[in-house]
Amino acid sequence: MSVRTPADHALEIAELLRPLRTRLCDPRHADRVPLSEALGRLLAEDVASPGSVPPFANSQMDGYAVRSADVHAASAVSPVTLPVGATSAAGDPIRTHVPGTASPVMTGAPIPNGADAVIPIELADPPHFAGIGADRRDAEPGTTVSFAAPVNAGTFVRPAGADLARGAVILRTATRLGPVGLGSLAAAGVAEVPVRPRPRVLLLSTGDELRAPGEPLAPGQIHDANTTSLTAALRESGAVVVHASVPDAASAVLEEIARHPDIDVVVTAGGVSAGAFEVVRDALEDAGVTFEPIAMQPGGPQGFGAVRSESGRSIPIVAFPGNPVSALLSFEMFLRPLLRELVGLAPMREITHAPLAHAITSPRAKHQVRRGTLRADGTVEVGAPGSHLLHDYARATVLAHIPIGVDALAEGAEVEIWRIDD
């Protein structure tokens, strides 16, 4: 029997999660959340503006609201002088402009009904507001202001609906909400939005030998790195993560999955190899989950499939090997791109090529993924391929890919690299 390639396995996982993608993209399953909780989420449907933005005509400048007809004859030789009318500041109600006057108007204030233009304060004479400010709203009766040039109707007036008309689409379906988009929604008076649900992942760590970081270790025990690293990787990819540790008992695995009937995906770490005590394989193989090696190093043992919940819902299972590097590289290769695409993040790492800083060897029958560092001279130095060397992975800035069919590469040979230092 031929061993599946990593590309084959990636297609299997993508097909496994295809129904989840369909469901999460269905607006009938949307979450409605307040804007304060919507950062980074994907819109589940178009959002239309409930009103005009701005809702009224307002001033673009500090100056005087006038009727353009009242200053059409103004010139430097023969300025037009007008009485100063009532003042409008931001937040004031819309006033009525008296023809033949100049109404002081501040930036963002409503244009008084009857005025059709704004003359900036620096173009007026005097070039400052006389007799208003602090506690005084309006100028003393008899106060005047002069203008030495005409103005066109609409000058420095922001019309109602200039940004958005009532009913216009603010943002389209599948838009990822960032600060500007959220601000646009808020400006239109939208308080909450329909967003795509985030995938809910149950992460199962298995192994009687595992202890939480900080706990004392008895002989034969190790600290659990997978829970911390995979939880972080899943959350960074937009998933909502529920974690559970289960002992090395097949019944415990099944019971833990049954306790989470609303989960979207189950991810396991460990218990999938060919040993005599492979708890995940023992628990799920009879339920229809496939456990087969793939031609990848590290990360050869893999499992995928689905189990039925008590309600009859199909729950995808993605089973990774237990060595920390193998588990993380498996996530990187097979699950990270799919989850990130679901939540509107860039699915793939930056992929490029770089020359090797030294010669390497690789198993001809396997796709090898080596952790490495990109040097200042543009060459890549790769470390050992061992699946237990987590600290080397932590220091790496790239993943170097040596494809199936290659058993040796000389110094200077180009390899595909994925940047992981973002």
Contact between 83 and 64 (Cβ < 8 Å): no
Backbone angles phi, psi at 394, to 5 degrees: -65, -30
The strand pair at 63-66 and 117-120 is best described as antiparallel
- Residue ranges of domains in the chain, CATH in brackets: 6-25+197-342 (3.40.980.10), 29-53+162-195 (3.90.105.10), 350-419 (2.40.340.10)
- Residue 1: per-residue pLDDT: 53
- Residue 310: per-residue pLDDT: 78
- Owner of token pair 């540790």: 245
Going from the C-alpha of 253 to that of each of 249, 317, 404, the distances in angstroms are: 7, 12, 34
CA gap 54, 263 in Å, rounded: 43
> Average pLDDT for residues 224-237, to the nearest whole number?
94
| Mean per-residue pLDDT over the chain, rounded | 93
pLDDT of residue 275 exceeding 70, the answer is no
> Average pLDDT for residues 342-362, to the nearest whole number?
95
- Residue 387: per-residue pLDDT: 60
DSSP codes of every residue in 312-371: S-EEEEEEE-SSHHHHHHHIIIIIHHHHHHHTTS--S-EEEEEEBSS-EE--TTSEEEEE
pLDDT tens across 162-209, in order?
A: 999 999 999 999 999 999 999 999 999 999 999 999 999 999 988 778
Percent of residues, the chain, with pLDDT higher than 90: 81
**Band of residue 133 on the pLDDT scale cut at 50, 70, 90:** confident
DSSP codes of every residue in 230-283: HHHHHHHTT-EEEEEEE-S-HHHHHHHHHT-TT-SEEEEES--SSSS--HHHHH
- Residue 134: per-residue pLDDT: 75
Q: Note the pTM of the prediction, 2 decimals.
A: 0.84
> Average pLDDT for residues 282-302, to the nearest whole number?
93
> Average pLDDT for residues 79-100, to the nearest whole number?
96
Among the listed residues 353, 349, 352, 372, the one whose alpha carbon sits nearest the alpha carbon of residue 362: 372
pLDDT tens across 258-274, in order?
A: 999 899 999 999 888 77
- Residue 130: per-residue pLDDT: 87
b or e along 324-347 (b: 16 or more beta carbons within 10 Å of the residue's beta carbon)? bbbbbbbbbbbbbbbbbbbbbbee
- Residue 159: per-residue pLDDT: 97
**Band of residue 309 on the pLDDT scale cut at 50, 70, 90:** confident
> Average pLDDT for residues 62-85, to the nearest whole number?
97
Backbone angles phi, psi at 226, to 5 degrees: -60, -40
pLDDT tens across 31-51, in order?
A: 999 999 999 999 999 999 999
